[in-house]
Amino acid sequence: MSASRASTASAALAVLRRDLLLAVRRPGEWLQPLAFFVLVTVLFPLAVDPEPSRLRQLAPAALWVTLLLSSLLALEFLFREDRRDGTLEQYLVSGQSFTALLVAKTATHWLLTGLPLVLVGPLAALSLGAPPQALPGVCVALLLGSVSLSLIGAIGAGLTLGARSGGALLSLLVLPLVMPVLVFGARATQLAIAGDEAASALYLLAAIGALSLTLAPLAAAAAVRISLE
């Protein structure tokens, strides 16, 4: 029993290591969403009147919509390459838990696209006029939200694997599912920037994160498995 569990964990770690190595060799894939995030956040103050009070009002919306879009941008590449070269089929026949291996892949995706966005997010928030004492709250909100985004997005990425059109369909499928993340994330950010207690919205974000951590991998594994048949 414990031997097989240990081997599942080590297999998942091996997948994680392989994907990270691949990403280091091909930095374009994870730098693109990051660059997109920075660019769009810079565009917001240019598009509206850059008066500090108005910018601060706009900051939560700008941050979260941009986070959502750049996360979607990265999702398209989540399984596509590995399906094309047969890696996913190897995972399927490896005898290891397919769900665990996909969780490892999703974790890599989050490390490469979610985590950089969480790290850049506070800078973007500052540039949009958020006070420095709001940054911990903003950071935690982005952290919890981006984890859910990656996990739920993996379902959409799995479903669209066998589909003809990619990007637009993916966003049509994923956006309704991640609506609560956007609502509570933006709410927490808004409360943090206004200097209020953001805990209630953060708890809800954490609850969504826990729910998607337990259920989303199962759905994502089912979706990917269907596309491989």
Partner 1 sequence: MNWVWFHRFGSPPYFYRFAGRWAPWFLGISLVLLAVGLYGGLVLAPADYFQSDVYRIIFVHVPSAYLSLMTYTWMAIAAAVGLIWRIKIAHAVAAACAPAGASFTAVSLVTGMIWGQPTWGTYWAWDPRIVSQLFVLFFFLGYIALRGAIDDRDRADRASAVLAIVGVINVPIVHYSVDWWNSLHQGPTLMKSGGLRYRCRWRGHCW
- Judged by the rule CB under 8 A, the positions of this chain that interact with partner 1 are 155, 159-160, 162-165, 169, 172-173, 175-177, 179-180, 219, 222-223, 226-227, 229
Residue by residue, what is the 3-state secondary structure of 115-155? Answer: HHHHHHHHHHHHHCCCCHHHHHHHHHHHHHHHHHHHHHHHH
CB nearer partner 1, residue 111 or residue 175: 175
Least distance to partner 1, CB of residue 200, Å: 13
Neighbours of 14 (CB within 10 A): 13
- Indicate the residue among 114 and 156 with the shorter CB distance to partner 1: 156
Please name which of 113, 89, 117 lies closest in space to residue 20, comparing C-alpha atoms.
113
Enter the tokens of residue 130. 């958020």
- How many residues are recorded in the chain? 229
Minimal distance, residue 72 CB to partner 1, in Å = 14
By beta-carbon proximity to partner 1, the closer residue of 25 and 164 is 164
Least spacing, CB of residue 38 vs partner 1, in Å: 28
Nearer to partner 1, 96 or 160 (CB): 160
Phi/psi for 56 (5° steps) reads -65, -35
163-184 burial string, b = 16+ CB within 10 Å, else e? eeeeeeebbebbeebbebbbeb
Comparison of 66 and 171: residue with beta carbon closer to partner 1: 171
Q: Smallest distance from the beta carbon of 223 to partner 1, in angstroms?
A: 5
Q: How far is the CB of 198 from partner 1 (least distance, A)?
A: 17
The CB-of-211 to partner 1 minimum distance in angstroms stands at: 9
- Amino acid making up residue 146: S
CA nearest 150: which of 81, 88, 78? 78
Residue number, 157 or 202, with CB nearest to partner 1? 157
How far is 36 from 66, CA to CA, in rounded Å? 8
